[in-house]
Structure 1
Amino acid sequence: MSAPDAAPLVRAVDLAKRFEVSAPWLDRVLGGRPRQWLQAVDGVSFEIERGRTLALVGESGCGKSTVARLLVGLYQPTRGQLVFDGQDAQAAYAGPQDRARALRRRIQMIFQDPYASLNPRWRVEDIVAEPLRVHGLGADDEERRERVGQLLASVGLNAADGSKYPHQFSGGQRQRISIARAIATAPDFLVCDEPTSALDVSVQAQVLNLMKDLQRARGLTYLFISHNLAVVRHVSDSVGVMYLGRLVELAPREAIFEAPRHPYTRMLLAAIPQLHATGAARTPVLGEVPNPLDPPSGCTFHPRCPQADARCRSERPALRTVGGIRIACHQVA
């Protein structure tokens, strides 16, 4: 058990979220159909230490973004607990407004699409100053304007850019504006939902390096959501691999990339092009992600797994610790 001074900043315990996706009531009555539920996240548990980065990876639809929204309070979990710096985050989000606001000041989010996450009718100085106004930071407009200039400078833009509108910037510059807005309240924890997926590769590197610089300078803790394993290798300290709403492997970055244990993790890594293996055949990711409304029995990965046996088809594996990593697989001893 960790010592008190080494307690993780963020701890998720058995987090789950389901959404109702039923047809309209009248259609259900006339067709005799029951209500239908989608289990987007199903029992996810992890910890993130202060100043560290946990990356969540997996194919589209595996529940990564739902986990992100649970952490920042945009969704309430169906089951489970979220602990932030020793306090029950769910109770804080649902409690008195001042308590919820104090928590939201410490937890911020960077969204995936820099073209959609910035209000096109607002000037950049208003966009970045919004969290300062909401949280009552800065004595007056002049002080907030000065603070906005400092924030823009910290992400590689000019204070004069505050008078411009988002459409006057490139995608990478817009994401820098989003980052400036996210760090405006001096948060401890940033949830980054695929923050570079909409950017060109060269711009991705610039934004990722900026985020690492900010982490070192401000002691930030990150949850980094991505489907790009090359990006994850660059930014993460530990990696969680998700499949159909569940964690199937959770390990330090080196263990994931040098010695992956779960068949799904190995399949994802085998599909990455290698510079030193130019011309070599790549192993495709086999099969399709099952319908989440009707997931397979047992291990949900078994229809695509080359190692699956009868036990895999009937019994769902629990996430257990094996050799210093956490893995949900019957085939790993």
Structure 2
Amino acid sequence: MSLVSNPALVQASDLAKTFDVSPPWLNRVIERQPRTLLHAVDGVSFEIERGKTLALVGESGCGKSTVARLLVGLYHPTRGDFRFDGQDAHAGFAGAQSQALRRRIQMIFQDPYASLNPRWQVEDIVGEPLREHGMASGKPELRERVGALLESVGLSPLDMAKFPHQFSGGQRQRVSIARALATEPEFLVCDEPTSALDVSVQAQVLNIMKDLQQRRGLTYLFISHNLAVVRHVSDEVGVMYLGRLVELADKRSLFATPRHPYTRMLLDAIPKMHDTGSARTPVQGEVPNPLAPPPGCAFNPRCPHANDRCRTERPALLSIGGIRIACHAVEEGRI
């Protein structure tokens, strides 16, 4: 009897999101301008196994946060499919199962100063999901569960009576994590959850998140532009450029032998602890205007290996040597 492997908990297929950023209709008519479309995410596909972490990295504006919002139902995709535990998640978000699905998928936002209501006490902030989903039958049970959630992220039940302004940035982000854990989710979308924090505090928050993952079997999509953080938390890494995935590999392979020229460029820019005598390689060039991306491979204006094919034909994400990569130069064996 053959064993059938369980499908991944999270399956994104050809996800795309286009925003209409056109000027007002009358301006376009007077100036005879067509509509302006921004392809923020353009055909992204990946899977995340239960209990694992996929990290998405890339420069600002590459579409990472848009992917996050697509996965929690804040945006509806222009194209593509997102399946969660085998079911069509976007149909679920819009249907009768919306509340049950949102209970299983939660998000930790980037800025702990903006994502917490400054007029609410922590008891209300963390307790709100419990009330909304009917997970606490009365005030005593609610307080007990909020206290346990605060303890699980390294805070005290006595902090329930405090307001957000009475906490440091790292403590606020712990409150955000406690709120996200309130509904006992299986999948957490983490949109740069430590980027607003000091380095020493980042490490504390990341260790809490890793510990919670091990204890609760959580699945993470972790979005960051900090490759040191990604190396610490991820199992797989996807590198995004101008709305598309250009490389998707397990963490060890990606950091040891990056294949795509853009991935190499990002890794070369990291200061090395032991190579103090060598010059740090800056990331070359500028990200093209996303409203008018270059034809062919979007990275070709910055790529030292670009040829005529790269300038005219957009590469597909192919499986080459156990990794998925969108690069004509790698496909042709030129690098």
The answer as to 2:48 corresponding to 1:45 is: no
1:153 alignment partner, one of 151, 154, 157? 151
CA RMSD across the alignment: 1.0
Worse overlay, 279-288 or 259-268: 279-288
Find the residue that maps to 1:277 and give its secondary structure: coil
Find the residue that maps to 1:151 and give its secondary structure: helix
Distance 2:3 2:321 in 1: 22
1:133 alignment partner, one of 131, 134, 138? 131
Alignment-mate amino acid for residue 266 of structure 1: R
1:318 alignment partner in structure 2: 316
The answer as to 2:270 corresponding to 1:265 is: no
The answer as to 2:202 corresponding to 1:167 is: no
How far residue 279 of structure 1 moved from its aligned partner, in angstroms, is 3.7
How far residue 144 of structure 1 moved from its aligned partner, in angstroms, is 0.8
Distance 2:237 2:3 in 1: 23
Alignment-mate amino acid for residue 19 of structure 1: F
* % identical aligned pairs: 75
Deviations 1:232-274 (A, max 9, x none): 0000000000000000000000011000000000000000001
Distance 2:4 2:40 in 1: 33
TM-score by length of 2: 0.97
1:73 alignment partner in structure 2: 73
1:252–1:270 Cα change, 3 Å:
same
Find the residue that maps to 2:274 and give its secondary structure: helix
The answer as to 2:68 corresponding to 1:57 is: no
Tell me the matched-pair count. Answer: 330
Q: Structure 1: which 5+ residue stretches go unaligned?
A: none
Distance 2:260 2:5 in 1: 33
Find the residue that maps to 1:40 and give its secondary structure: strand
Distance 1:68 1:171 in 2: 22
TM-score by length of 1: 0.98
1:282 alignment partner, one of 274, 280, 283? 280
The answer as to 2:18 corresponding to 1:18 is: yes
Find the residue that maps to 2:47 and give its secondary structure: strand
2:200 alignment partner in structure 1: 202
Distance 2:20 2:42 in 1: 15
Q: Structure 2: which 5+ residue stretches go unaligned?
A: none
1:291–1:273 Cα change, 3 Å:
same
Q: How does 1:294-309 map to 2 (within 5 A)?
A: 294-309=292-307
Q: How does 1:181-200 map to 2 (within 5 A)?
A: 181-200=179-198
How far residue 223 of structure 1 moved from its aligned partner, in angstroms, is 0.1
Find the residue that maps to 1:161 and give its secondary structure: helix
How far residue 280 of structure 1 moved from its aligned partner, in angstroms, is 1.8
Distance 1:75 1:28 in 2: 26
The answer as to 2:34 corresponding to 1:28 is: no
Distance 2:143 2:4 in 1: 40
Deviations 1:169-228 (A, max 9, x none): 000000000000000000000000000000000000000000000000000000000000
How far residue 116 of structure 1 moved from its aligned partner, in angstroms, is 0.4
Worse overlay, 198-207 or 132-141: 132-141
2:9 alignment partner in structure 1: 9
Distance 1:207 1:4 in 2: 37
Deviations 1:57-87 (A, max 9, x none): 0000000000000000000000000000010
Deviations 1:258-296 (A, max 9, x none): 000000000000000010012420111110000000000
The answer as to 2:87 corresponding to 1:87 is: yes
Distance 1:305 1:201 in 2: 32
